[in-house]
Amino acid sequence: MSEQQRAVGEGLTGDDLLEGVEVDVEVERYAHGGHCVARHDGRVLFVRHTLPGERVRARVTESTPGRSFVRADAVEVLRAAPERVERRCGWSGPGLCGGCDLQHVELAAQRRLKAAAVAASMERIGGLDVTGLLAPEAEPVAGDESGLRWRTRTTFAVDDRGRPGLRAHRSHEIVPVDDCPITVRPALATGVLEQDWEGALAVTAVAPSVGDPVLVPVGERGRPLHEVPRVTEAVATPEGERRWTIGARGFWQVHPGAPATLVSAVLEAAAVQPGDRVLDLYCGAGLLTLPLAEATGDGGQVVGVEAAGPAVDDARAALAEHPWVALVASRVDEAFGLARTDPGRRRPRRGRTRGGPRARHDLLPPTADVVVLDPPREGAGAAVVAAIADLRPRTVVHVACDPAALARDAAAFVARGYELSALRAFDAFPMTHHVECVATFRRADAV
């Protein structure tokens, strides 16, 4: 293969698409994950930094013999799409920071791409047609206008010289940066990017909605090098502003408008009635548990289930004045008495064994009126979906951050007699491919 052939892909077959090879391709559809689909000699290329309808020169970045696809970066745009804009960040692009996939896309177009990716996942993976259910654009969250300066929690990797930066896409390589345009200014004003972090492997900058920003350096296995400070977050709920005090490294929505947006969307979808029995699964620090408890009133019952012990403690503190709420510190599958599962994986993690069935937790009721679940990225899985369906709730509200996992869970709910009645996508992570979804399922025979 000549250098000229290697550079422009002249006469190359699909088998010649090795790492470093460049080939001119026509870009087809957008796919969830921040890349678009292109083809060369029958082989699929997943190409980043491009848009549907463009013609680009793509450089192969990963190629595995025998696989039907390769990964690539668009290193030159030969014909631009009208939605293409100048990147807002100098560290975004081929070979640079891997955090933002869509810096080159106009904001409204980003939201259309995300909605289309959700619809495609629901159809291809879940076998569900969501035409008429899903808006053509992902909805912006409260307060978002530019898609920049929204990230209130950013973890910067630290290189062997103590310099903070961000990792390149699918790489351990650290790109030193002196700004991150999606991170809020108060987090950067801590001086996180100016300090020498020798001895740390990463440092997290947190700008809570109440109080001063904090920095948390971490070492091996993500262990904090100092005592982790606690921060306060305030959220507008139908009953007024509510506050949570959580560990700075505990899970919380990173977009400042996302908590209130999700609370509103979930309450609307759940349509909880006074006196209802509600389960809030994977409840974290109780962001949704508290407004759900306020909706049921003291004549109702709410059970929250969460595996992370510190989050359960934080939820207990936030819900101290709501005695009709019970919190279960457990994995959801184990609380249902199921064997431990890893829903998104074809095989167990190496060195990890799955436990056998356990006794169902005493606090889990035999029935429920409403179930809300916000599982981790891999989704709930068929076994947990079946256990939820066995409770015969009239409504299930599924909050999801991965369209593929949501599609798998949605198919499982439909197989168990539920209908997908509503689906909303929220642009809670502008400039990235990530999207937050709220799906509503109604029991087909519910009155």
Choice among 89, 180, 283, 401 that is catalytic = 401
- Residue ranges of alpha helices (H) inside 80-137 are 107-124
CB atoms within 10 A of CB 60: 21
**Residue 26 burial (10 A CB sphere; 0-12, 13-18, 19+):** middle
Question: In angstroms, rounded to a whole number, what is the distance separating the alpha carbons of residues 54 and 75?
Answer: 12
Q: Dig out the tokens for 262 from the structure.
A: 């999700």
For 195, phi then psi, to 5°, come to -85, 160
Question: In angstroms, rounded to a whole number, what is the distance separating the alpha carbons of residues 234 and 212?
Answer: 13
- Reference 314, options 251, 380, 226; nearest CA is 251
Question: In angstroms, rounded to a whole number, what is the distance separating the alpha carbons of residues 231 and 203?
Answer: 16
To the query of whether residue 180 is one of the catalytic residues in this protein, the response is: no
Query: Do the strands 395-400 and 325-329 form a parallel or antiparallel pair, or are they unpaired?
Result: unpaired
CB atoms within 10 A of CB 444: 10
Question: In angstroms, rounded to a whole number, what is the distance separating the alpha carbons of residues 261 and 291?
Answer: 13
- Reference 18, options 4, 26, 6, 2; nearest CA is 6
- Reference 24, options 64, 63, 68, 79; nearest CA is 79
- Cα–Cα separations (whole angstroms), residue 353 to 336, 344, 375, 378, 443: 19, 16, 21, 18, 35
Q: State the residue for tokens 């955090």.
A: 99
Confirm if 358 and 337 have CB atoms less than 8 A apart.
yes
Question: In angstroms, rounded to a whole number, what is the distance separating the alpha carbons of residues 19 and 72?
Answer: 9
Q: What angle do CA 33, 36, 40 make, to 5 degrees?
A: 130
CB atoms within 10 A of CB 137: 18
Active site residues: 401
